[in-house]
Amino acid sequence: MKIPELKTIPITQHYTERQSFLLHKMGIENLEDLITYFPFRYEDRTEISTLTDLVFSQETAVIRATVTAQESFFWNKKRQVKILITDHSASAELVTFNMRGIDKLMPVGQEFYIYGKFEFRFNKIQSSNFEFEPIEKFGSPTSLLGKIVPVYRVTEGLRQKEFYKIIKKSFDLSLKHIKDPVPKYFRESRNLLDKISCLQQLHYPDTFSQLEKARVRGAYEEFLCTRIALELRRMQEIKTTKEHRYPNKDILTKFKQELPFKMTSAQERVIQEIFEDLNQEHAMHRLLQGDVGSGKTTVALASMILAAANGHQAAFLAPTEVLAFQHYKKIKSLLEILQIPCALLTGSFSTKDRQPILEGLKLGTLPIIIGTHALFQKEVVYHNLSLVIIDEQHKFGVEQRGMLIKKGENPDILAMTATPIPRTITLSLYGDLDISIIDELPAGRQEITTTHVKKSQYRAMLDKLHKEIHKGRQAFIVCPFIEENENMVNVKSAEQVHAEFVKLFPQYNVSIVHGRMTQSEKDQIMKEFALNNSQILVATTVIEVGIDIPNATIMIIENAERFGLAQLHQLRGRVGRGKDKSFCFAVNHGYDADLRLDIFCSTTDGFVIAEEDLKIRGPGEILGVRQTGVPVFKLADFAKDQKILQASVNDSQLIFEKDPKLELPIHLSLLEFLELDSSFRVFSG
């Protein structure tokens, strides 16, 4: 949540040096940071309980009791005080340590509200951790009992109570500055709190339902502002027109005839979406999502061919050499038939091999290039790069994608991702992109059967493996680590599994590939496996992305309990790519019950997996920004707030329909809220 009016007011201006120093440690630099530093939990101190209830329930809550006596005892060579209390249910002792003046503060005969945890010790009910207030004070503005009390994550040296005062002061300093970005007509029609009430309820909730109302209002604002910012960015991009067009699509008919399969209707639809985009005035910025094996690469190929046939250059950026090579091999024979020159360029090319390619790119005689990071090195100059394809876009940083994009003039961009992104994240963070989704697998693909294998079922799995290999199929075995490590129990290393399987399958070739090998060693092993010169490949997750070996029908994932859902799904996608039925075994060497593995076995739909993953791991993990969290959103929850997001999507659309340039006074304050976090940019520019 943002409050731009407060961002320019530094903490040091209003707080002591010591407080500023401590707040700085908590990442709080200005009043905006401070007033949006929300509690991480709330204590319900509204209900009055009884001593007996608290002892049995082990809960921490408020009781109402009268002091009946005071006693002394010695601890740490000092006289300490016990306060004896009673409520209508039982009697108890409040044991205090070095609480100066407690005997004066809690005199005999007076009644108090006491908040604490009470336990049965030495045959007595006792508490040594409690707060108290005289009855008269209960529920008053400064009281911390009788209400919902916020708990903040504070740094060492700062106590909750001091932080309460710091927050209180921030309200006194801020209230007159705060503007509400959400137009009044939406606040009214959607029954949303105004901004100040929202902030107040988040820090000082009246009730839990008001608190949730405040959170909803905050989440709505976060989504709405992000959507509007993305929409403005998109309009900005639309304004920059490009020169090139792709009017001629005859080549696509020929391309389809030459393909060894019939395209799915989802593929056809997406190619049409891309074709229409390519012929707009502004450059295409499209994100193509599709599950592993859904045929995204084929769609990308069609687009590149379209570029070449219309006299442009297209570049296909792949994350690894193995993948670049695999794509190149596939496309090459097709392109030969269509008589379109094409080349591969990776970092391992010698200067001599590189020369003719660089020349072809510079002169424009080479219309299609496939490669790795080598594609955007300084020395590479393109004649007229007009289409950039980024495979597995999340494997590249914004700068890297930007470097390639800048090699052309406003090129069209197609980014692809094989890890489906939950809809809430797509809508909010990638709202400036057009999205295409391939939601259909090629015909004849059989559903992969996935089994959660517990220790006792390992043998049966090996029997199945034997059968498949005997039929001529191939298998992947994936392990989380390369070698054994004595610190880890119940972990199968790749080396150990390799040794075992060499013994188990003497009549077959069992190979191993892992991240500690050189690129050419890895490539060699992968090539041998692709040629069926080895039948079982033991690997670490280096095989995770994009490898396409249709004859492989078995995927065994050792220690599946150690992998994330999305990663498991990626690994499973290495099989099931041909016409034969495939099997995936998620071997659980840890605890037998594992919710994640049960979810994994229950569906092969990448979008369902993505939603579940979001619930389990949160957006930070999925977006790869765990350390910093998702900075734009303090209140919105991607897993929970789909309805709120949808509301904000509708409302931002309405705003633009009414007021396309955001000029109306009711929308002006919105503009101040639209600073976007650049870490989510898919394309730099």
Rounded Cα–Cα distance for residues 526 and 543 (Å) = 9
Q: Which is nearer to ligand ADP, 298 or 535 (CB)?
A: 298
- The interface region with ligand ADP, picked from 60-68, 259-267, 369-377, 504-512 by CB under 6 A, is 259-267
Does the footprint of ligand ADP cover residue 261 (CB under 6 A)? yes
Does the footprint of ligand ADP cover residue 263 (CB under 6 A)? yes
Query: Which of residues 201, 264, 303, 570 is near ligand ADP by CB under 6 A?
Result: 264
Q: Which is nearer to Mg ion, 395 or 406 (CB)?
A: 395
373: tokens are 């990071």
Q: Which is nearer to Mg ion, 201 or 297 (CB)?
A: 297
Using an 8 Å Cβ cutoff, are 153 and 161 in contact?
no
Rounded Cα–Cα distance for residues 432 and 680 (Å) = 11
H-type alpha helices, 486-574: 494-504, 519-530, 565-572
Least distance from Mg ion to the Cβ atom of residue 290, Å: 9
Least distance from ligand ADP to the Cβ atom of residue 47, Å: 55
Touching Mg ion, residues 495-554 (CB under 5 A): 546
Query: Which of residues 293, 367, 411, 606 is near ligand ADP by CB under 6 A?
Result: 293
Does the footprint of ligand ADP cover residue 442 (CB under 6 A)? yes
Query: Which of residues 19, 201, 298, 588 is near ligand ADP by CB under 6 A?
Result: 298
Touching Mg ion, residues 445-474 (CB under 5 A): none
Q: In 10 A of CB 634, how many CB atoms?
A: 17
Q: Is the dihedral of CA 165, 170, 176, 180 positive or negative?
A: negative
Residue 40 CA from chain centroid, whole number = 20
Which has the closest alpha carbon to 384: 277, 300, 310, 317? 310
Residue 475 CA from chain centroid, whole number = 31
Q: Which is nearer to ligand ADP, 178 or 304 (CB)?
A: 304
Site string for ligand ADP, 265-284 (x = CB under 6 A): --x-----------------
Residue 343 CA from chain centroid, whole number = 35
Which has the closest alpha carbon to 526: 110, 538, 122? 538
Does the footprint of ligand ADP cover residue 319 (CB under 6 A)? no
Query: Which of residues 36, 96, 126, 294 is near ligand ADP by CB under 6 A?
Result: 294
- The interface region with Mg ion, picked from 2-10, 293-301, 343-351, 616-624 by CB under 5 A, is 293-301
Rounded Cα–Cα distance for residues 663 and 648 (Å) = 19
What distances in angstroms separate CA 83 from CA 92, 103, 132, one per listed residue? 8, 8, 12
Query: Which of residues 290, 319, 606, 619 is near ligand ADP by CB under 6 A?
Result: 290
Provide the edge-to-edge strand list for the sheet that holds 552-557.
449-453, 583-587, 552-557, 474-478, 536-539, 510-513
Torsion of Cα atoms, 61 then 67 then 71 then 77, to 10°: 50
Using CB distances below 5 to 8 A depending on partner kind, what does residue 290 bind out of Mg ion, ligand ADP, none? ligand ADP
Query: Which of residues 39, 295, 431, 480 is near ligand ADP by CB under 6 A?
Result: 295
Q: In 10 A of CB 361, how many CB atoms?
A: 23
- The interface region with ligand ADP, picked from 294-302, 307-315, 468-476, 496-504 by CB under 6 A, is 294-302
Residues binding Mg ion: what is the number (CB under 5 A)? 2
Q: Which is nearer to Mg ion, 232 or 288 (CB)?
A: 288
Give the interface with ligand ADP as residue ranges (CB under 6 A).
261, 263-264, 267, 290, 292-298, 418, 442, 548, 550, 577
Give the interface with Mg ion as residue ranges (CB under 5 A).
297, 546
